[in-house]
Each structure stands twice: as structure tokens, then as C-alpha cells.
A and B are shown apart, each in its own frame.
Chain A
Amino acid sequence: MKKATSFTLHHFDKVNKETFTRLHNLGLYDGETIRLIQRYPFHGPVIIENNHQRIALRYQVFATLTGE
């Protein structure tokens, strides 16, 4: 089965304050839909796309926000 590429972001209360602020800075808010572009092996960073911009973030943060 093909893995999902679209995710809705939630659980912003579960990331640390700095990460929360930076996500907001880059236009990533609760309820925002993003597209997963790239994963890296060994739970390395992921690339997501939102509003025509690509952003790299740690897998742990991605997993927390998407509930993956």
C-alpha cells in the first residue's frame, strides 16, 4: 500500500517552545495541511511542502505533529 503524502498538522502543544515558535514563523499552524516530499533513512529529517515552500524538519517533530 502506498504511504500517505498529505498530512494535517495537530498537537502543537507537544513540541518544545522554540520549535512551536519556529513552526509558526514558517506558516505552519494547527489544522494546516502539508505534503510530505522526502524522508531520510534512520529517522533522519523529512522535507515537507506547504504554501509553495519546502521546509526540512526532524522526523520526531513531524511524527508528533502528524500523529504518524
Chain B
Amino acid sequence: MEIALIGNPNTGKTTLFNSLTNNYATTGNWTGVTVAQKIGKLKHATAKVIDLPGVYSLTPLTKDEEVVTLYLLDHQPDLILNVTNASQLKRNLLLTLEVREFGQPMILNLNMIDDLKRQGQAYDFTTLSHLLGCPVMATNARNQDGVKELDHALQNEPAPLAPLDLDYPPMVKQAIRQATEALVEKYELPASTARWLTIQYMNQNKVVRRAVAFRNLQPLLKMRAYYDAQHFEEKIFNTRLDFIETILASAKKNLGDQKPKEFSNKVDKIITNPILGLPIFALIFLLIFELSFDWIGTPLSDALDSFISGPVSTTVSHWLIVAGALPPLRSLVVNGIIAGVGGVLVFVPQIVVLFACISILEDSGYMARAALVTDRIMQTIGLNGKSFIPLIIGFGCNVTGIMAARTIEQPKERLVTTLISPFMSCSARLPIYSLVVAAFFPKHQALVVLSIYFLGIVVALAVAKGYQLFFHTTDSSVFIVELPEYHLPRFDVIWQGTWDKSKGFIRKAGTVIFAGSVLIWLMSSFGVSGFVTDPTKSFAANLGQGLAPILAPLGITHWQVISALFTGVLAKEVITSSMMVMFHATNQAALIGALGTYMTPVAAYALLAFILLYSPCFATLGTIKQETGSTKWMLWSLALSLMIAYVVAAVIYLGGTLIFG
């Protein structure tokens, strides 16, 4: 059995999905956290549950909203669970009516029922159920109220329901009937599907119109001009709205005592204050960086490093000697795999703290406010505040950041956001930053890393401005953002969100970083004459020395660093593991010591800027191609990154050398 979760954004749909299923998905209090459908299994049954992105209607404006309509065009789920925000039922029911017209069995879930009570209102479920022709169940998913009952209901075989038949104006009704009959007769479509398709087509649903054109469904195609000229879309909308008014008038009960949303309103007075909003935004990010790099993340990382480079490395080395392993094999395991993979794994605590902070922002409802307070700045570069969210998510991983850009309505704004996302400093770049700042700026680690993050933002905004001038983007931007109520973040939601984001990093340690470490070990241990004990005669040295003249103006002159940068295109984490291997460092302290003797602090800062900007990783390049549908944009992104990185790093190095000597 397949159950589809469909609902508006900010209805607690994904929290409910997490409660109902064994598998979990990332939850968030921000439109677009569910950027693609997620699949789980019902806890007490074998049914498959699909969590679809939040949509306001089946007529999509954004790419992630298209997912739901595409799903309904290709699937007939056995049951649809329509999750609504009970306190915003009027607008939520617009989607409910479209889903009911689809005709598959449906349960209407009134979630966040406590918010409705606080408004001093309630609904008569019998009336709602009678008028909508489907079962109605209430929940408050955040504190599990009603979830057990809903879970039981989902385990039963769903009863078939007749599609909702709204009383559209006679001319619309007649047109629906004629088109439906023709589709059933000529194309053998089921009557309910043909009817739903016709109504969606009349309603100017662009995904449905694309599908109808692709399948060449003539009864609809030849009537398109008539439907549009007669403003069928408006007539359908008005009929739905009138029906909703009737439902609410019949089912709504006033309980009297209304309690305003005091907590959210009080917090918003400060957080979204016109003067304080932006400084608070900057402070929140400073706090996150301090937590990740100074207060919690770094001490834990240091402890883990001592453990891996000490007992783990020594014990493995000892057992390899006892087992009689040859020196090259011992070198591969200890200097290649343990140093490389371990060198990256020690940064897990810092990354987990950073992801936990981002998850707290998502779950609390702050992300929507961040979009609001940054909108005016973003407007000056032809984007809007909504673009800021994918960029912030890009701090975790550029791939998920680019995916989150799907929530942007305007195609050019979406493209620009996608193209500037790789300049946001993702967590994979953290390990190498941490090493470099520990080596050269030990007293100001958090500040220096923060300055690199800001450099990324500044470059991203400057490039966006360039695109604005190039594309001549006008005032067609859409910035309408719902400000959800604040929630006290729930531990399990934060934990799941953090794990969901961090597991990719840990998984990479076992795959691409492992492979990268072995590759780098091979490159630095073998040369034209075979196995070499002198690394300056290795392939890695040849490659690094070959590229050295090109990178010399940036202060990057050592072959180990250059070879490591080269491998960083594979995945940014590999830069650190490559350096560990090539400098033959057994722990962080040894590498920090080695780096310190090779370059000046100015060159080190130029290196940080170059690493930030020089090239998106393979996964990000692949995502750019997928989301823009163009190899040219992907190659352009790579070429532009390289050019910008080179110029910025050269300016920093030359300027810095001039000032500091």
C-alpha cells in the first residue's frame, strides 16, 4: 500500500512523517526543506509513506511544487493523507479540494489543532467530513497528540471515495463533461482521471498543460483558447472559494476565549525589528561559528585527533609489524588510510555542531525571518530574500543549497542563486580552514574562518550583481513569505536533522576520501622509478612542481599544497587528507607544524581564499548541470570560479605582502 502525504508548507507535514514512519526525513520550519519526495515505512504496517514537498495548490509556481503534480500524474496512491494547518484551514482547503477532485481515498488531517484552540475556535468534524466526503482527523504532531489514532487509521484498508463534484458554473460544467467524455472515449482514460485532468487543464496548471501537450490529448488542446478566453481559471477559483466559505460557515464553532500569539509576536518585535534585524542576523551567525570552532567543536576535534593519531595509529602499526607486513603496506595503512581518512574524520565534531545550529534555525522558524531581513540587500543585486536560504543551507553542503533553490519562483533568480551557491563555504572546506588557521592564526581562529565565510558571501553577491546587469532582471521578482509561528526546537527533530546532514560527510569518509587517500598515497609513494622513499621524486611532486609557476603569484609554491588542491576538485575534504599523506604527518599538530614552516600568514590567507573559491566539487558540478539542465552553465561555473579564485587570491597575496611585508 502506498500513502502520499500532501499539504501546504508549514503544516507540520514532515514532523508527522517522522512520527509515523521508521525512516525519517529532514524536517524544517521553512518552505522547501522537503525539496524532493522522501519515502518511509509505516511503523506498524508494511505501507510505504511518501512525503511530498509542501505546496499551496497543484498549480505550481516553483520547481519543488512541480514534484507533487508530477507525482499525481504518474501515480495512483492507495491513500492520500492531506495534512493541513488547522488554524489556517481556509487557505489550506483550496489544496484539499483539488486533491479530493483527484478521487483517490483521502484522510483530511487537521494538524496544529492547539493553534486553532488558541484562536478560540473549533470545527465540527462530522460536518467537515460530510461536506468534503472524506474522514477528518485532528493531531498536534509536535507533541504527538492524535498521532496514535491517525497511525491506526492509516493501517486500515482505505474505503473508496467518489471524487468531489463541485457546483461549477453551467458553462464550466458543460465543458468539463464534454472534455471528460471525449478523453474517456478516445484515450480510454478512467473517468475520474479525465475529469481531474480537464479541471487542472482549465485551471492553467502548467505541468498538466505540458503533460497534455506531450500526450497530444486533442479534446483539451483544441479548447485551450476557449477556456482561457472565458476565464475558466477565475470561475473555478471563485467556485472553490465559495464552497470553502460554505464549509467553514457550517463547521466553525467559536469557543470565545481568544489567546493571541504572544510568544511569536514578542520575539518578532526584536528579531524582525527594522534596525536590529540585520545585526541580530549577523550575531546569530557569529554565535554559530564560535560554538563550532571555539567553544565546543574544536576541543572535541582535538580530543578525537589525539585518539586517532595516538592509540589507533600506534596499535595498527604495531599489529602490522607483528603480522610481518611489508613497509609499503604499512605505509599505505598508517600514512595513507589512517592519516588521510582519520585526518578528515577528526572534524566531525565541528561539522556536527554547525549542522545542529542550522537545524535549530530551520526548526525554530527563524529561516523565514532571515529571508525577510535580508530581502532589501538582495533586492539591490536582483535577487530576493528567499535566495538567502539556499545560500545559508549551502554552508552545510552546496549540493543541498542548490536543491533548495527550487523554492524560488522566478526562473532567472533561481538560475543566479544556483550559480552563486558554490561560493558559499560548505562544511567540506572546514577541515582545511581549521588546519590553516590553527597553523597561522591560532589566537583568532573563529574570526579568520568567519572572514572567509563572509568573503564567500561578498563574492557571491558581487557575481549575482554581474548576472543582474547581464540578464537585465526587472521587477518580476516574487517575494511573498509566510512567517510561521516560532517553535521551541525539539531535541529529536534537531538530532534527526543533524544526523541527516552529517551522515553524508561520514559516508564520504568511507568512500571518496578513502579512495582519495589511497590515490594520493600512490601518487606520493611512486614515481617514474617505482616505489620511492624520497617524496620529491614522486608523481605528486612532478604534478605540483609543474603547476607551481602558475600558482606562484598567489604565494602557493609548494608541490604538496598544489597537488592537494588538485585532488580537492574530487571532494573538498580530500585536500586535508591529501596534505596529511603528502606531508607524511601522523596528526594535526605535525601537519600544522609542517605548514607553518612553508608559507607566510599572508600566503596562508590567500590559500584559504583560493580554496574557498577555486572550483565546485564534482557533486556540486553535477547538481548544477541537473538543475540548470545545461552542461554549458556547469562549465561556465567551473571556469568563472577558477578565474575569480585566481584574481582574489593574487590581490590578497600581493596586497598583503605590500602592507605586511
- Cβ contact within 8 Å between A56 and B274: no
* Identity of the chain A residue whose Cβ is nearest the Cβ of B260 in the assembled complex: A52
Q: Is A57 touching B61 in the complex (CB atoms < 8 A)? A: no
Please measure, in the bound complex, the distance between the C-alpha atom of A58 and the C-alpha atom of B479, giving whole angstroms: 6
Chain B residue numbers with a CB within 8 Å of A53 are 87-88, 482-483
Q: Mark B471-514, 1 if CB is under 8 A from A, else 0.
A: 00001111111110000000000000000000000000000000
Whether A18 pairs with B478 at a CB distance below 8 angstroms is yes
Q: Shortest distance in angstroms between B649's beta carbon and chain A's nearest beta carbon?
A: 34
Chain A residues contacting B480 (CB-CB under 8 Å) are 19, 22-23, 26, 55-58, 61
Whether A52 contacts B91 by the Cβ 8 Å rule is: no
- Chain B contact residues, CB within 8 Å of chain A: 56-57, 59, 61, 87-88, 90-91, 94, 119, 237, 241, 261, 264, 268, 272, 274-275, 277, 368, 371-372, 375-376, 379, 384-385, 409-410, 475-483
Question: Contact flags (1/0) for A25-68 with B, using CB distance below 8 Å?
Answer: 11101000000001111101101000111111110110000000
User: Main SS of the interface on chain A?
Assistant: mixed
CB distance from B161 to the nearest CB of A (A): 25
Interchain residue pairs with CB less than 8 A apart (25):
A16-B478, A18-B61, A18-B478, A19-B478, A19-B480, A25-B57, A26-B56, A26-B480, A26-B482, A27-B91, A38-B274, A39-B274, A40-B274, A40-B277, A42-B376, A44-B379, A52-B261, A53-B482, A54-B482, A55-B483, A56-B479, A57-B480, A57-B481, A58-B479, A60-B475
How distant is A1 from chain B, measured CB to nearest CB, in Å?
20
* In contact, B119 and A52 (Cβ under 8 angstroms): yes
A-B contact count (CB 8 A): 96
Taking a contact as CB atoms closer than 8 A, the residue among A19, A38, A40, A51 that contacts B90 in the complex is A51
Residues of chain A at interface, number, CB under 8 A: 29
Picked from A18, A42, A54, the residue with its CB within 8 Å of the CB of B483 is A54
Interface, chain A (partner B; CB < 8 A):
16, 18-19, 21-27, 29, 38-42, 44-45, 47, 51-58, 60-61
B92 → chain A closest CB, angstroms? 9
Q: B60 — nearest CB in chain A belongs to which residue?
A: A21
Interface of B is mostly: mixed
Task: Give 5 closest A-B pairs by Cβ, nearest first.
Answer: A25-B56, A44-B376, A27-B91, A54-B483, A56-B372
B272 touches A38 (CB 8 A): yes
The answer to whether B483 and A26 have CB atoms under 8 Å apart is no
Cα A54 to Cα B119 with chains together (Å)? 14
**Complex Cα–Cα for A22 and B55 (A):** 11
The answer to whether B479 touches A25, judged by C-beta atoms less than 8 angstroms apart, is: no
Instruction: Report which of B56, B376, B478 forms a contact with A40, defined as CB distance below 8 A.
Output: B376
Q: Which residue of A lies closest to B241 (CB)?
A: A29
Q: How far is the CB of B82 from chain A (nearest CB, A)?
A: 16
Please report the C-alpha to C-alpha distance between residue A30 and residue B472 in the assembled complex, in whole angstroms.
31
Please name the residue on chain A nearest to B277 by beta carbon. A40
Is the CB–CB distance between A22 and B409 below 8 Å? yes
CA distance A29 to B91 in the complex (A): 11
Known: A26-B480, A38-B274, A58-B479. A18 touches B376 (CB 8 A): no
